Structures are given as C-alpha cells and as structure tokens.
Amino acid sequence: MPNITQLIALKEKYGSKNSVSNLQLKSLNENFRFSADQIKNSFSYQGLDTRILNFFESQASADLLFLFIDITAFSQKCKNFTNSQLAIYLDKYYDLVIPIIYAHGGEVEKIMGDGIIAIFGQPFLTDSKDVLYSKADKCAKDIIVLLRGTEREVKVALHDGSVMYYKNKTLNYPEYTVIGKSLTELYRLESVAMNNSISYYHVSQYDNKEFCKEGAFCITNHSPSKCGYFNKSNIVQVNLQGVEWSFIKHYTCTYNT
C-alpha cells in the first residue's frame, strides 16, 4: 500500500468503488504514530468501521489478487523525451489507467514510474475469490483493449497470494507495506509478461475461469463500443529466480475494434 497521503490524493482525484473510505484513510494518516488501541479508539469515536484495522494494525493476512501493469518497452519509447514530455506522457497514462482500477473496486498498491500494482481484496474488497478474479480480469482487459494500438500499450502480470500489511513502528511514516512471497513472484512474472497480454503462472486458478477463454471482450461502459479478441497461449517455459514454477501462459488481445 502506498503512502497514505498519496492514496488519499489518488482516491480524491479519481474516485473509487471499494469499501475503504477517505475518512478512514485520513484518520489513519492523522493517528499513524499512535498505538493500535489508540487508533481503534479514534475510529470508534468517529463512528468509523474498524474492520480495516485488523489488516493494517493487527497484521491479519490478506488473500489478494494482484495486477502489475506497465508500459511495454517504456525505456525505449521514452528515451528521447524531455522531462516535461515524460511528465505529460505519464500523467496521461495515469489518467487512463487508474480510473479503470478504481471502477472495478481495485486499489493502487504502488506506482513506480510506468509500473502500477493494483490489488483486489481485503480490506478494500470483501468479495469471494471468484469475484475478485472476475474484477481483476475485467480491469486488466479494459486497460489492455483501451491502450492497444496507442503509444502506451501495456503488459499485465496477474497473480494471487497471501500477504500482510507491514507497519514500521520505528518510523513516523504513514505507510503499510505489502509483504509476502506472492509479491516477489509477481515481480518475477512481470519480467516475462508479454505485450497486450495478461500473463500468469500456469498453476493459477485464473487459467480455469470461464472468462479466461478465447473470445471477444468489450470495454466496460465505454462509448462508443470498443472491443478486443483474446487468445490463450500454450504453456511457455521460463526460468525465474526464487519462483517454484517454471511455466506461464499469456492471454493476449490479438486485435481490437
């Protein structure tokens, strides 16, 4: 999870459809240096739902769906940009991608230049794992189809796993860092992701979902209608350090309208 102040600013600018409000985030931001009990008391006094504190302050495990979205060949595309040109290029990219993440109930865990990690799950969403997969799938497809054929084409790595939100109590820095093996696996997967594709480990539950089959997909609530056609690859062998799996698949948008 990013700096709380940044998260508040993103939600205020782009809006969101998940269950964590800006009032809760602002209370966390203001009381970050206090103990978990003091933060909980502050939430209760303000009439705020304390459920999110189970994850942020008590470090309960969260089972998340991750999307790692980044621009394909970003360094090559931007190598001759001036600083102002690069800023305009990235600002437009964020304005296109982040609203889609929020429209599907996701949250922005981290922004690293062109790299955006979106998360779907507790405490931001309380849906079943099947529903989380569906939301992450639609989010990834919306982004891929929207940007395909533009100067901001993307590749998306999809993964899931259990994590914790770590609070460094020695620092007065309002951030709850997502920590877990699955995050490392996500970073490794992103390194072999393919353009205009959702890339995932072959053992993922995603591979068996009804929505992960060859077929057409139209962007959610887009006018005029904009659609793409997705094909699934065969198993691809990879060698990723620190990852127990050696095979991935790519679910690729081969053309769009």
C-alpha distance from residue 171 to each of 54, 164, 222 (Å): 20, 18, 44
Per residue in 113-155, pLDDT (tens digit) is: 999 999 999 999 999 999 999 999 999 999 999 999 999 999 9
Can you say how many angstroms the Cα of residue 78 is from the centroid of all Cα atoms in its chain?
23
23 burial via Cβ count (<10 Å: 0-12, 13-18, 19+): middle
Q: What percentage of the chain reaches a pLDDT higher than 70? A: 99
Q: What is the pLDDT of residue 171?
A: 77
What gap in Å lies between CA 56 and CA 74, rounded to an integer? 33
What gap in Å lies between CA 88 and CA 63, rounded to an integer? 35
Q: What is the pLDDT of residue 168?
A: 83
Rg (CA), the chain: 19
Q: Average pLDDT of 227-242?
A: 96
Q: What is the pLDDT of residue 170?
A: 78
pLDDT category of residue 2 using cuts at 50, 70 and 90: low
Q: What is the pLDDT of residue 228?
A: 96
Res 1 pLDDT > 70: no
Taking Cα atoms as reference points, which of 126, 182, 174 lies closest to residue 158? Answer: 182
| 52, 136 Cβ separation under 8 angstroms | no
pLDDT category of residue 106 using cuts at 50, 70 and 90: very high
3-state secondary structure 65-91: EEEEEEECCHHHHHCCCCHHHHHHHHH
Q: What is the pLDDT of residue 172?
A: 77
Q: What is the pLDDT of residue 130?
A: 97
Both tokens assigned to 251: 């679910």
Prediction pTM value: 0.96
DSSP string, 161-228: EEEEEE--TTS---B-EEESHHHHHHHHHHTT--TTEEEEETTSGGGGSTTSSSEEEE-TT-SS--EE
Both tokens assigned to 206: 């995603």
Residue showing tokens 């209760």: 44
pLDDT category of residue 257 using cuts at 50, 70 and 90: confident
